[in-house]
């Protein structure tokens, strides 16, 4: 194990720490990052070391918040664990399968079926209505049109936009667009919801509604939620909080431990 790879285990050690062992007991690791490094070389005067050896285990069914200053590598990490970009070195395992070993078809299946993506800027298709946006991943997955429409309607109800099915994104508020994006992310019943700063463009009230919605999805549907955020409201509902800085894990906390230290974190 390299020096950087051990940082996470300095703070998270189920083998030596009984509290961590209690948390990890009976949980499967759904995402495992091992010494993941990412260096950007194109279009930069000097290489940018965005990830400097991130090691982390993410458990099935947990709500994990990833916090860190702008430029600390959160989106880069998400792209790596979501199979959207290849790390320069290191491995990402999903359900203990090294995703660098997957062929194009298997990777497409993973992105389409296993993971739901939510982005800060919603990334909806502007010319499509809410329901059409939500149906799209089901179309890619080969779901028949009628079935996809019915399911998309149900998802709209679930996320609270059942009354805006036929509106295009430009006719919806930011919070409503993000709800469409969440419904779209859920279209193929993913095991993992990867949300990159989902509340960053929302006012605090709407942001809180989105946070509560994602928490409900974790609790009711057992979805693993991995969420990068600057939002301190997110801390209150996360099971664990990982803090990153300069491309490395800086600290890992259980929520129960954080409560005591919330003041310290606010000042971070």
Catalog residues that contact Mg ion under the rule CB under 5 A: 74-75
Choose the binding region for ligand ATP from 13-21, 66-74, 140-148, 254-262 (rule: CB under 6 A). Answer: 66-74
Choose the binding region for ligand ATP from 4-12, 65-73, 158-166, 212-220 (rule: CB under 6 A). Answer: 65-73
Residue 198 in the binding site for ligand ATP (CB under 6 A): no
Residue 70 in the binding site for ligand ATP (CB under 6 A): yes
Residue 248 in the binding site for ligand ATP (CB under 6 A): no
3-class SS of residue 136: helix
- Strands 240-245, 63-67: pairing is parallel
Length of the chain: 268
Q: Which of 75, 188, 218, 238 binds ligand ATP (CB under 6 A)?
A: 75
Residue 105 near residue 152 (C-beta atoms within 8 A): no
Q: Would you say the C-alpha torsion 257, 5, 50, 97 has a positive or negative sign?
A: negative
Nearer to Mg ion (CB atom), residue 34 or residue 74: 74
94: closest CA among 23, 34, 14?
34
What are the beta bridge partners of residue 54?
Answer: 36
Question: CA 16 to CA 34: how far, in whole Å?
Answer: 20
Residue 265 near residue 232 (C-beta atoms within 8 A): yes
Least Cβ distance, residue 39 to ligand ATP (angstroms): 9
Nearer to ligand ATP (CB atom), residue 197 or residue 253: 197
Contact code string over 26-45 relative to ligand ATP, x by CB under 6 A = --------------x---x-
Least Cβ distance, residue 55 to ligand ATP (angstroms): 17
Task: For tokens 């390299």, name the residue.
Answer: 2
Q: Which of 71, 144, 154, 222 binds ligand ATP (CB under 6 A)?
A: 71
Residue 46 in the binding site for ligand ATP (CB under 6 A): no
Instruction: Outline where DSSP puts E strands in 41-101.
Output: 48-59, 63-67, 89-94, 97-98
The residue ranges that bind ligand ATP (CB under 6 A) are 40, 44, 48, 50, 68, 70-76
């Amino acid at each position: 194990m390299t020096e950087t790879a051990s940082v996470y285990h300095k703070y998270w050690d189920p083998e030596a720490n009984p509290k961590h062992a209690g948390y990890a007991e009976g949980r499967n690791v759904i995402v495992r990052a091992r010494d993941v490094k990412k260096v950007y070389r194109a279009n930069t005067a000097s290489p940018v070391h965005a990830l400097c050896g991130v090691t982390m285990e993410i458990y099935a069914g947990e709500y994990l918040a990833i916090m860190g200053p702008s430029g600390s590598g959160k989106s880069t990490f998400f792209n790596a664990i979501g199979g959207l970009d290849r790390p320069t070195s290191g491995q990402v395992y999903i359900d203990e399968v090294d995703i660098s070993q997957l062929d194009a078809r298997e990777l497409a299946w993973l992105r389409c079926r296993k993971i739901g993506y939510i982005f800060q800027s919603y990334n909806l298709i502007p010319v499509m209505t809410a329901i059409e946006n939500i149906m799209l991943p089901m179309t890619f997955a080969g779901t028949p049109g009628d079935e996809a429409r019915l399911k998309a309607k149900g998802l709209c109800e679930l996320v609270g936009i059942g009354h805006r099915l036929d509106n295009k994104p430009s006719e919806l508020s930011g919070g409503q667009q993000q709800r469409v994006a969440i419904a779209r992310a859920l279209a193929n019943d993913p095991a993992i919801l990867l949300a990159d700063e989902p509340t960053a463009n929302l006012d605090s009230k709407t942001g809180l509604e989105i946070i509560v919605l994602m928490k409900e999805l974790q609790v009711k549907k057992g979805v693993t939620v991995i969420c990068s955020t600057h939002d301190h409201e997110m801390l209150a509902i996360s099971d664990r909080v990982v803090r990153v800085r300069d491309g490395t894990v800086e600290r890992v906390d259980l929520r129960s431990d954080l409560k005591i230290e919330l003041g310290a974190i606010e000042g971070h």
